[in-house]
């Protein structure tokens, strides 16, 4: 007897249907799985057989052949276990096969028949909206994320027995209900706040500008000056994720298996990989491509502490995602694209010992050592980082007697106001992502501002990319000031954030 049901697999963020064909035929008792399975799928034979027996269902002495179609897509993981088990039970006459033809089945089986969670339930549920299927059987832990997608009946099961009884009509399992609009209105709570930061007024202002325009920023200062402390609080002044952004971000984390039971991510991601991370860990890849840190930071922050300590090839691999907002991983049979629209925050010392710019400590580095240290970051990569901010050591008086600074809520209000100012221009992208055509349309300068920028380009020997960065930063500063045209003071402030000598970094 031949039984068919449908499951899904993910390739990157794309959900692909897999038809699970189970045939119970004559011959020597056996169990074979074909259709380009990996080792984990091949091992499903033992998991499924034991789970069926331990769930008190009869397993006849027949030859079972399972085909996972299409055969040209490699199948991995335990996501097909439940579909295979239900197909075998139906093929042996213990379940009506018609019921299996109307549902998509996902889930890994334990030996006791329990159903364990899988990766990628949310992108799979989204893919079902464009198919004839409207019922999705998922492990109970995956139900909250899958139910975020409207128009799909998500049935949460905890065991193989639950799934069989539901399909047989002997047990009622209502669809799991979850209002995604309620989730989207959840209030974010943070454990840190900018009010904790003492001094660093210049750095705080630069970070406000960076967040308002979604600009990349590099913090440069001696050890203990507060670079990491500042970076960890950037998320607290970013606007909340929109519903579409939250679903897109959650889908990436779902595929990576990092949701930890959360139905929908509401806080913007903050990823801080160690400086020993490989290029694949940062960018993504593998034989079955998985998202890297740049994609896990999508719509959030990628914080690279001790930036020059990262391997040079790892840093150079950032150039494409910084420019394009996506990562394309090419393999022999197909390529996978992951979104990677993040805000890069880097932190570094000004030299090997860290005290080049510290007035209270003597630098022990020679000029050659300083040059070699700075050269670890290439000029082209540095040009892609919008703001370069000095973070000086905080004096004792500022630590003990300085009044408390603004709270994150106060800064965040100005950021949101500046971004609303952008929307008034019907601007589709953040200032950092403006195209050349949009720069001409939205970055109108006064004659005085134009002359100042022209002089700066000549005197500081800035590159063409630096020119566009200064324009974009100036546009953001003007938005914070609610100014339609870019004024000289906006250009002057923007130039401060691009004042590093290019020759030191080449």
Residue where one domain finishes, among candidates 407, 439, 463: 407
User: Do residues 360 and 446 share a domain?
Assistant: no
* Per-residue confidence (pLDDT) for residue 505, from 0 to 100: 40
- Give the range of the structural domain holding residue 224, as residue numbers without chain letter: 194-407
User: Do residues 250 and 114 share a domain?
Assistant: no
Residue where one domain finishes, among candidates 407, 441, 461: 407
In this structure, is residue 420 part of a structural domain?
no
CA 397 to chain centre: 40
Q: Rounded distance, CA 376 to CA 464, Å?
A: 22
User: Do residues 217 and 301 share a domain?
Assistant: yes
Residue where one domain finishes, among candidates 407, 436, 452: 407
Map residue 86 onto helix, strand or coil.
Answer: helix
User: Do residues 340 and 459 share a domain?
Assistant: no
* Per-residue confidence (pLDDT) for residue 498, from 0 to 100: 78
User: Do residues 203 and 170 share a domain?
Assistant: no
C-beta atoms surrounding 25 within 10 Å: 11
Which tokens in the block code for residue 348? 């570094």
DSSP state of 221: -
User: Do residues 119 and 58 share a domain?
Assistant: yes
User: Do residues 249 and 116 share a domain?
Assistant: no
In this structure, is residue 183 part of a structural domain?
no
User: Do residues 320 and 379 share a domain?
Assistant: yes
Question: Which whole-number Å values give the CA distances from 428 to 326, 337, 420, in the listed order?
Answer: 18, 22, 12
Contact 123, 255 (CB under 8 A): yes
Contact 230, 219 (CB under 8 A): yes
Residue 453: CATH number of its domain: 1.10.8
Pairing verdict, β 301-304 and 387-390? unpaired
Residue 235: CATH number of its domain: 3.40.50.300
In this structure, is residue 363 part of a structural domain?
yes
User: Do residues 204 and 349 share a domain?
Assistant: yes
C-beta atoms surrounding 13 within 10 Å: 22
In this structure, is residue 307 part of a structural domain?
yes
Tokens 């099961």 map to which residue?
157
Exposure letters 324-354 (e unless 16+ CB within 10 A, then b): ebebbbeeeeeebbbbbbbbbbbbbbbbbbb
Map residue 448 onto helix, strand or coil.
Answer: helix
In this structure, is residue 496 part of a structural domain?
yes
Q: How many domains does the chain have?
A: 3
* Per-residue confidence (pLDDT) for residue 180, from 0 to 100: 63
User: Do residues 116 and 167 share a domain?
Assistant: yes
Pairing verdict, β 14-25 and 2-11? antiparallel
Which tokens in the block code for residue 465? 């990319």
Q: Rounded distance, CA 404 to CA 372, Å?
A: 39
In this structure, is residue 398 part of a structural domain?
yes
Cα dihedral 423, 424, 427, 432 sign: negative
* Per-residue confidence (pLDDT) for residue 380, from 0 to 100: 85
Helix 488-496 with 447-460: angle, nearest 10 deg: 20
DSSP letters, 380-423, are HHHHT--EEEE-PPPPHHHHHHSPP---HHHHHHHHHHHHHHHH
Smallest Cα–Cα separation from 250: which of 264, 270, 234? 264
User: Do residues 216 and 264 share a domain?
Assistant: yes
Query: From start to end of 106-160, where are the E strands?
Result: 108-109, 115-116, 135-139, 153-157
In this structure, is residue 188 part of a structural domain?
no
DSSP letters, 150-213, are TT-EEEEESBHHHHHHHHHTSS--PPP---HHHHHTPPP--S--GGG--S-HHHHHHHHHHHHH
Burial class (CB in 10 A: 0-12, 13-18, 19+), 166: middle
Q: What is the pLDDT along the chain (506 residues), one digit of tens a residue?
A: 899 999 999 998 999 999 999 999 887 888 999 999 999 999 999 999 999 999 999 988 889 999 999 998 889 999 999 999 999 999 999 999 998 998 999 999 999 999 999 999 999 999 999 999 999 999 999 999 999 998 899 999 999 999 999 999 999 999 998 766 666 666 678 889 999 888 888 999 999 999 999 999 999 999 988 999 999 999 999 999 988 999 999 999 999 999 887 788 888 999 999 999 999 999 998 878 889 999 999 999 999 999 999 999 999 999 999 989 999 988 766 788 999 999 999 999 999 998 888 888 889 999 899 889 988 988 888 888 999 999 998 887 777 776 777 899 999 999 999 999 888 888 888 899 888 888 888 999 999 999 999 998 888 888 787 889 999 999 999 999 999 999 999 999 999 887 664 444 43
Residue 114: CATH number of its domain: 3.30.230.10
User: Do residues 249 and 317 share a domain?
Assistant: yes
C-beta atoms surrounding 93 within 10 Å: 12
Spatial strand order in the sheet of 387-390: 270-271, 301-304, 343-348, 217-220, 387-390
In this structure, is residue 187 part of a structural domain?
no
Q: Give bridge partners of residue 389 from the DSSP assignment.
A: 219
Which tokens in the block code for residue 106? 């996902």
* Per-residue confidence (pLDDT) for residue 445, from 0 to 100: 94
């Amino acid at each position: 007897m031949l039984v068919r049901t449908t499951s899904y697999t993910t390739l990157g963020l794309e959900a692909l249907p897999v038809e699970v064909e189970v045939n119970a035929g004559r011959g020597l008792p056996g169990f074979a799985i074909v259709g380009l399975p990996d080792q984990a799928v091949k091992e499903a034979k033992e998991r499924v057989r034991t789970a069926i027996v331990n769930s008190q269902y009869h397993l006849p002495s027949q030859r079972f052949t399972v085909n996972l179609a299409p055969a040209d897509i490699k199948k991995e993981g335990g996501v097909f276990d439940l579909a295979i088990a239900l197909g075998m039970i139906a093929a042996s006459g213990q379940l009506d096969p018609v019921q299996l033809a109307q549902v998509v089945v996902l889930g890994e089986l334990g030996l006791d028949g329990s159903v364990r969670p899988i990766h990628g339930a949310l992108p799979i549920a989204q893919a079902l909206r464009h198919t004839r299927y409207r019922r999705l059987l998922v492990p109970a832990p995956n139900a909250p994320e899958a139910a975020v997608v409207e128009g799909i009946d998500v049935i949460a099961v905890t065991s193989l027995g639950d799934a069989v009884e539901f399909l047989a009509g002997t047990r009622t399992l209502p669809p799991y209900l979850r209002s995604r609009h309620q989730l989207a209105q959840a209030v974010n709570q943070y454990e840190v706040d900018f009010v904790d930061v003492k001094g660093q007024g210049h750095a705080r202002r630069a970070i406000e500008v960076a967040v308002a325009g979604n600009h990349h920023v590099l913090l440069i200062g001696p050890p203990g000056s507060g670079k990491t402390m500042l970076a960890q609080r950037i998320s607290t002044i970013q606007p909340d994720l929109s519903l579409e952004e939250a679903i897109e971000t959650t889908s990436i984390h779902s595929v990576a298996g990092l949701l930890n039971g959360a139905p929908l991510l509401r806080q913007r991601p903050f990823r801080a990989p160690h400086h020993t991370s490989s290029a694949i860990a940062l960018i993504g890849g593998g034989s079955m491509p998985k998202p890297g840190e740049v994609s896990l930071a999508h719509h959030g922050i990628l914080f690279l502490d001790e930036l020059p300590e990262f391997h040079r090839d790892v840093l150079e691999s950032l150039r494409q995602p910084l420019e394009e907002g996506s990562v394309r991983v090419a393999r022999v049979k197909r390529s996978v694209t992951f979104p990677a629209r993040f805000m890069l925050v880097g932190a570094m010392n000004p030299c090997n010992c860290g005290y080049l710019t510290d007035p209270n400590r003597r630098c022990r580095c020679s000029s050659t050592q300083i040059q070699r240290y700075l050269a670890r970051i290439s000029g082209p990569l540095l040009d892609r980082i919008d703001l370069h901010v000095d973070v000086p050591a905080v004096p004792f008086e500022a630590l003990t007697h300085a009044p408390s600074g603004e709270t994150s809520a106060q800064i965040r209000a100005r950021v949101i106001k500046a971004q609303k100012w952008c929307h008034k221009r019907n601007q589709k992208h953040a200032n950092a992502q403006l195209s050349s055509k949009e720069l001409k349309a939205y970055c109108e300068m006064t004659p005085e501002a134009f002359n100042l920028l022209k002089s700066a380009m000549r005197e500081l020997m800035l590159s063409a990319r630096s020119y566009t960065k200064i324009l974009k930063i100036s546009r953001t500063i003007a938005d914070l000031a609610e100014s339609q045209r870019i004024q000289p003071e906006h250009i002057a402030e923007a130039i401060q954030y691009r004042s590093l000598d290019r020759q030191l970094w080449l």
